[in-house]
């Protein structure tokens, strides 16, 4: 089986032109952009972050900074209830955003697959799938936070107990190095899982009307049979993201940063988001005909994709 990468991108762009310009419908464009914006609420595509490591005792500085912040808060007990309340409000808002975006992912996918723009009816139709995806994402986010904290406690906290002036400075550097390395590796794995979730698991859920764990069970045998293809897809998407970052920066300057504004930026860049959503759909369809979201689903198709693995 030959798996292509640029061909799915070409087909996705061809479908995007049909969806958005043949014929052009401003109302349809705005509704699709709203669905895409809701689906991407949990991603910060318009911002760039940087991490500055001043010296080899990065772990010590990170941990000590946390300790100083906590000590400062504890010494002013009057602010502690407000801080806790603010944290709870922020957490509630984050959970709400995650819930909305989980259902909106199916709404946006449904819009580009069926070449139509609706919000209310799909919102009701995808309640079960959206809630299933939401609960999985909450559990995954909690697991990621717990794992990151555990890595920091294991590696960075011991590093904070030493100074570069101590006789055991080498242990401090080693602990900080392995702590940062562990966080980087864990971050890469977590990003890949999130990528595969949106790129392949969500379309499988949509295709077969199955919950998230069932969709993972349908996808994982294909990943185990052809891991190189999916890893190369992740690298391919990373390359496209780099190209898009350059394009986005230029586009922001040309539009006086309007492209970075919520929703308005999605409206201006809707062809990019539609193409990206269709890319994984076209890529997944190469593995089995039943994965093609644009063709009618044959009888007993779910059993086919669960049992038939390409050689």
Q: Return the DSSP state at 2.
A: -
Residue 42 to residue 101: CA distance in whole angstroms: 7
For residue range 149-179, list pLDDT tens digits in order. 887 777 655 555 554 455 445 555 555 666 6
**DSSP state string for 58-121:** HHHHHHHHHHHHHHHHHHSGGGHHHHHHHHHHHHHHHHHHHHHHHHHHHHHHHHHHHT---SHH
Q: Return the DSSP state at 294.
A: T
Residues 104, 206: contact at Cβ < 8 Å?
Answer: no
Residue 41 to residue 176: CA distance in whole angstroms: 33
pTM of the model: 0.81
Q: Which residue has the higher pLDDT, 190 or 161?
A: 190
Q: How confident is the model at residue 77 (pLDDT cuts 50, 70, 90)?
A: low
Q: How confident is the model at residue 222 (pLDDT cuts 50, 70, 90)?
A: very high
Assigned token pair, 200: 């392949």
Q: Return the DSSP state at 161.
A: T
pLDDT at 128: 96
pLDDT at 56: 38
CA 5 vs CA 214, 238, 291: distances in Å: 26, 13, 16
Pure H helices in the chain: 6-21, 26-39, 58-75, 80-114, 120-125, 127-151, 157-160, 169-196, 202-208, 212-225, 227-254, 264-268, 270-284, 301-307
Q: Return the DSSP state at 309.
A: -
For residue range 244-253, list pLDDT tens digits in order. 999 988 988 8
Q: What is the mean pLDDT of residues 210-228?
A: 95
pLDDT at 26: 95
Residue 288 to residue 304: CA distance in whole angstroms: 9
Q: Which residue has the higher pLDDT, 261 or 127?
A: 127
Average pLDDT over the chain, rounded to whole? 82
For residue range 33-63, list pLDDT tens digits in order. 999 999 988 664 433 333 333 333 434 444 4
For residue range 5-14, list pLDDT tens digits in order. 999 999 999 9
- Percent of the chain topping pLDDT 70: 75
Q: How confident is the model at residue 190 (pLDDT cuts 50, 70, 90)?
A: very high
């Amino acid at each position: 089986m030959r798996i292509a990468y640029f061909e799915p991108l070409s087909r996705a762009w061809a479908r995007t032109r049909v969806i958005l310009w043949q014929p052009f419908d401003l109302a349809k464009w705005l509704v699709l952009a709203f669905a895409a914006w809701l689906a991407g609420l949990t991603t910060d595509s318009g911002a760039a972050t940087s991490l500055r490591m001043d010296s080899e005792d990065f772990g010590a500085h990170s941990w000590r900074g946390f300790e100083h912040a906590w000590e400062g808060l504890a010494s002013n007990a009057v602010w502690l209830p407000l801080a806790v309340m603010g944290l709870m409000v922020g957490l509630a808002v984050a959970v709400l955003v995650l819930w909305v975006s989980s259902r909106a992912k199916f709404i946006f996918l449904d819009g580009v697959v069926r070449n139509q723009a609706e919000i209310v009816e799909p919102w009701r139709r995808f309640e079960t799938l959206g809630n299933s995806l939401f609960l999985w994402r909450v559990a995954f986010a909690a697991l990621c936070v717990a794992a990151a904290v555990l890595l920091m406690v294991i590696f960075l906290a011991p590093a904070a107990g030493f100074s570069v002036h101590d006789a055991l400075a080498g242990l401090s550097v080693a602990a900080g190095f392995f702590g940062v390395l562990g966080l980087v590796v864990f971050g890469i794995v977590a990003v890949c899982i999130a990528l595969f979730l949106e790129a392949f698991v969500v379309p499988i859920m949509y295709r077969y009307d199955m919950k998230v764990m069932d969709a993972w069970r349908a996808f994982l045998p294909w990943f185990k049979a052809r891991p190189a293809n999916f890893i190369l897809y992740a690298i391919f998407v990373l390359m496209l993201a780099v190209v898009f970052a350059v394009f986005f920066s230029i586009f922001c300057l040309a539009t006086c940063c309007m492209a970075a504004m919520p929703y308005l930026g999605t409206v201006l860049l809707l062809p990019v988001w539609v193409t990206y959503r269709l890319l994984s759909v076209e890529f997944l369809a190469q593995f089995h005909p039943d994965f093609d979201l644009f063709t009618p689903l044959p009888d007993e198709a779910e059993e086919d994709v669960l049992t038939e693995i390409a050689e």
